[in-house]
Structure 1
Amino acid sequence: MEEATISALLADEGQRLLSELRDYEQGRELALATRLRRDHPPELVSAALAQARLRQRAKAKFGEEAERMYFTPDGVEQATRASVAVYRAGRFAGLGVRRLADLCCGIGGDAIGLARAGVEVLAVDRSPVTCAVARANAGALGLADRIEVRCADVADVDVSGFDAVFVDPARRGARGRVFDPEAYSPPLSWAVEAAREARVAALKVAPGIPHEAVPEGAEAEWVSDRGDVKEAVLWFGAGDGVRATLLPDGHTLAGAGLPDPPVGPVDRYLYEPDGAVIRAHLVAEVAQRVRGTLIDPTIAYVTAPERVATPYAQAYEITDVLPFNLKRLKALLRQRAVGTVVIKKRGSAVEPEELRRRLKPEGPNSVTVFLTRVAGAPSMLLGHPAT
């Protein structure tokens, strides 16, 4: 994609084409393209169709608002989900931030959330195409007066006049995801240096960042949305320690420095902590809340005799605790007329899809099967979500 493509889509003819493609269906693309090319330049039709496909993909992150926005293929993949951007913008605003430099802004997902929270944003990216898209999004959403888009190397931007800095380094290279923080673009060490110059700063990092890589004085926050871990953020000027935040409700669990929970036998209830809680190493805090123990010292499942409501873990009522045995499991499911099996694994080499294929479940009933270890032994736990 080129800057000229974005300009063409923003012009009157491009806008009419995009309007016609608002209800785009991929299965009808060939016939639709043939019809549109009778009245419009072929290259503009191709660009509009590509944008329509990207908008369909982007709905998972931006909802219906994606129909008004503009995207690049990498932008759809790497943009912050709207719910996460809104949460982070609210946190910045709550810390008194009024002017912020958004470095490596991408297509502007975070800048949009910040502007809507009342923050004046300088959005910086080194890609001219990406900047053109970010600028188009600010205009399409009525935020052009609060978002200035600048095409530059982030290392050349003077951030001294801003209340806060947000850095979202590129974590993908030619071979895919980059796991070494120093291989980010820009490297984490540069981002940390930039963060320390601001009153408040946040650096977006991969959720798998090792805890030992968290800089001194920073708070590490892991964020999940509807149970899926989306990102980790290093905050400066907002405290220290670790926390897990669960969206869309915004529940936040802060670390209390608790020791590892004791290990005990599987009791009536099994608690599966949210992925953000596990990444933040806060399973002990969940165990304390439900008055439970671990089923194994290396497995993030908590067990307890009572059902205790907590937003930080899903509770299951356990009916069977058995050594792992495929024949026995098949017999149990057949005996109980189970046709729907939800398979979860933690600490097991068994692949759920392969197990499901071999089980061939039939019947009107359902069950959740946990493939895990109990006190070091390969085990299978059967149960159902607690209500």
Structure 2
Amino acid sequence: MEADAARLATSPAALALLASMPPYDPAHALTLASQLRSGGADPAVVAAAMTQARLRAAAASKFGPFADGMLFTQDGLEQATRLAVAAHHAKRYLDAGFGSVADLTCGLGADSMAFASLGLSVLAFERDEATALLADHNLRHWDDARVVHADAMATLASGHIDAEALFVDPARRDGRGRRHDPRDYSPPLDDILDLRSTWPDMGIKLSPALPHSAVPPDTEAQWVSMDGDVVEMGLWTGRLARTRGHSALVLRGGSSHLFEGEPLPGEVGPLGAYVYEPDGAVIRSGLVGPMAATVGATLIDPHIAYLTCDAPLSTPFATGFRVVETLPYSEKRLASALAARGIGTLEIKKRGMDIDPAALRPRLKLKGDTSATVILIRVDGARLAIIAERVESPNA
């Protein structure tokens, strides 16, 4: 979005029109836009308001009702921190005793909103003018939150900023897609880490795919999942690090669960009556082995992130399945076993096998009224199909 478009989106005319519009419905969007123009509204204002209505509807999954008061760009929305995750970021600063934070790459201001809502003084930097204008609108409710249109790294290089701790969410995308090398982030990860000589207390939001080798040993690396999706890895330094090592934060159904440890291999055991799939945050953090030991399970295979045990577990860190039948994998044998059980609805999971579930499903010719999960897995080099049923695991 260009700065002029952002100024139009934040204009009183566009905001008033946006406030008067019904909830966004893509099936009626063109009709509504035509009606608004026919009613005398400026076509440019109508276009700006319709764009924001569409983006607000898309933002509801990340921001809930807060989305109805925010302004967005498409790219900014895709990269913005989910509000529930941002709240956990902010609580770290509050728990560590900080009263102010500089958000060096605020984007649309999601994390800055969370900081401000907990009473922290916020200095939010954004070098893109259009995004800074929208962030300023999104932070308008908090008197102690200020948006600065500037390059924060250049500002830090030339002088001091008035904040006790830093938060950084470097850009990991460009016009060609995702940047996988931390040296290609904007700003680069090494440049951010160099700030610790002056600013030892820092939070850095990173890709969950960041290799463990890139994690400094004196920090906390926390992988975060929300409702089953791994959404980020947070790197925490100084007093913001609650531990030194790895942790997994699992957010599910409004509850939060934390597992901390060092990435160590787990004990391997024979397939039991139950199979458990660890949460993605646990897998990414390398804590499958320590988590398995904590709950009394073993790994099915040393290279596969599936656990097994003979009794159901009560854990928020893994999803459970009761083993119904295990057979050496072949497509024909699996189809026959599913047909014999009348399974017409099938969830397909796979680990360590080069199989496309979407392509496999129609070839199985499923018929019947029952449902099941099949786990396709390689154990000691052998390919297995585990037919199973999901089990409820309380978020204890």
1:70 partnered with 2:71: yes
Q: Which runs of 5+ in 2 are unaligned?
A: none
Distance in 2 between the 1:157 and 1:240 partners?
30
Distance in 1 between the 2:24 and 2:295 partners?
49
Distance in 2 between the 1:370 and 1:100 partners?
46
Superposed, 1:32-43 pairs within 5 Å as 32-38=32-38, 39-43=40-44
Q: Residue 145 of structure 2: which of 130, 147, 170 is its match?
A: 147
- Given that residues 5 and 130 in structure 2 are in contact (C-alpha distance below 8 angstroms), is that contact kept between their aligned partners in structure 1? no
1:245 corresponding residue in structure 2: 249
Q: After superposition, what is the alpha-carbon deviation per residue over 1:68-100, rounded to whole angstroms, capped at 9, x for unaligned? A: 110011111110011100111112211111110
Q: How far did residue 5 of structure 1 move?
A: 3.0
Q: After superposition, what is the alpha-carbon deviation per residue over 1:282-336, rounded to whole angstroms, capped at 9, x for unaligned? A: 0012211222221111100011112121111111111112111111111111111
Q: How far did residue 197 of structure 1 move?
A: 2.3
Amino acid at match of 2:43: P
Distance in 1 between the 2:311 and 2:304 partners?
20
1:304 corresponding residue in structure 2: 309
| TM-score under structure 1 length normalisation | 0.95
Distance in 1 between the 2:255 and 2:381 partners?
36
| Change in CA separation of 1:71 and 1:64 when aligned onto 2, cut-off 3 Å | same
2:154 corresponding residue in structure 1: 156
Distance in 1 between the 2:119 and 2:65 partners?
22
Superposed, 1:86-165 pairs within 5 Å as 86-139=87-140, 142-143=141-142, 145-158=143-156, 159=160, 161-165=162-166
Distance in 2 between the 1:189 and 1:12 partners?
42
1:224 corresponding residue in structure 2: 225
Distance in 1 between the 2:132 and 2:167 partners?
17
Superposed, 1:198-347 pairs within 5 Å as 198-237=199-238, 238=241, 239-247=243-251, 248-256=254-262, 259-347=264-352
Q: Which runs of 5+ in 1 are unaligned?
A: none
Superposed, 1:333-372 pairs within 5 Å as 333-372=338-377
Q: How far did residue 134 of structure 1 move?
A: 0.3
Please state whether the residue corresponding to 1:166 is helix, strand or coil: strand
Q: How far did residue 256 of structure 1 move?
A: 4.2
Moved more, 272-281 or 156-165: 156-165
Amino acid at match of 1:37: R
- Given that residues 195 and 202 in structure 1 are in contact (C-alpha distance below 8 angstroms), is that contact kept between their aligned partners in structure 2? no
Q: After superposition, what is the alpha-carbon deviation per residue over 1:165-212, rounded to whole angstroms, capped at 9, x for unaligned? A: 001000002210010000000000011112442242111111001101
Please state whether the residue corresponding to 2:35 is helix, strand or coil: helix
- Given that residues 375 and 385 in structure 2 are in contact (C-alpha distance below 8 angstroms), is that contact kept between their aligned partners in structure 1? yes
Moved more, 270-279 or 331-340: 331-340
Distance in 1 between the 2:36 and 2:351 partners?
51
Moved more, 354-363 or 181-190: 354-363
Q: After superposition, what is the alpha-carbon deviation per residue over 1:361-385, rounded to whole angstroms, capped at 9, x for unaligned? A: 1221110111111222111111111
Q: How far did residue 122 of structure 1 move?
A: 0.5
Q: How far did residue 150 of structure 1 move?
A: 0.3
Please state whether the residue corresponding to 2:305 is helix, strand or coil: coil
Distance in 2 between the 1:97 and 1:203 partners?
16
Q: CA RMSD in A?
A: 1.4
- Given that residues 104 and 153 in structure 2 are in contact (C-alpha distance below 8 angstroms), is that contact kept between their aligned partners in structure 1? no
Percent sequence identity over aligned pairs:
42
1:21 partnered with 2:25: no
2:172 corresponding residue in structure 1: 171
Amino acid at match of 2:370: N
Q: How far did residue 349 of structure 1 move?
A: 0.6
- Given that residues 266 and 321 in structure 1 are in contact (C-alpha distance below 8 angstroms), is that contact kept between their aligned partners in structure 2? no
- Given that residues 123 and 163 in structure 2 are in contact (C-alpha distance below 8 angstroms), is that contact kept between their aligned partners in structure 1? no
- Given that residues 125 and 147 in structure 2 are in contact (C-alpha distance below 8 angstroms), is that contact kept between their aligned partners in structure 1? yes
1:44 partnered with 2:45: yes
Distance in 1 between the 2:197 and 2:312 partners?
44
Please state whether the residue corresponding to 1:104 is helix, strand or coil: coil
Distance in 2 between the 1:88 and 1:345 partners?
33
| TM-score under structure 2 length normalisation | 0.93
Distance in 2 between the 1:56 and 1:267 partners?
45
Please state whether the residue corresponding to 1:315 is helix, strand or coil: strand
Q: How far did residue 160 of structure 1 move?
A: 5.2
Please state whether the residue corresponding to 2:387 is helix, strand or coil: strand
Moved more, 269-278 or 186-195: 186-195
- Given that residues 295 and 373 in structure 1 are in contact (C-alpha distance below 8 angstroms), is that contact kept between their aligned partners in structure 2? no
Distance in 1 between the 2:145 and 2:308 partners?
49
Distance in 1 between the 2:217 and 2:301 partners?
31
Distance in 2 between the 1:127 and 1:249 partners?
35
- Given that residues 219 and 235 in structure 2 are in contact (C-alpha distance below 8 angstroms), is that contact kept between their aligned partners in structure 1? yes
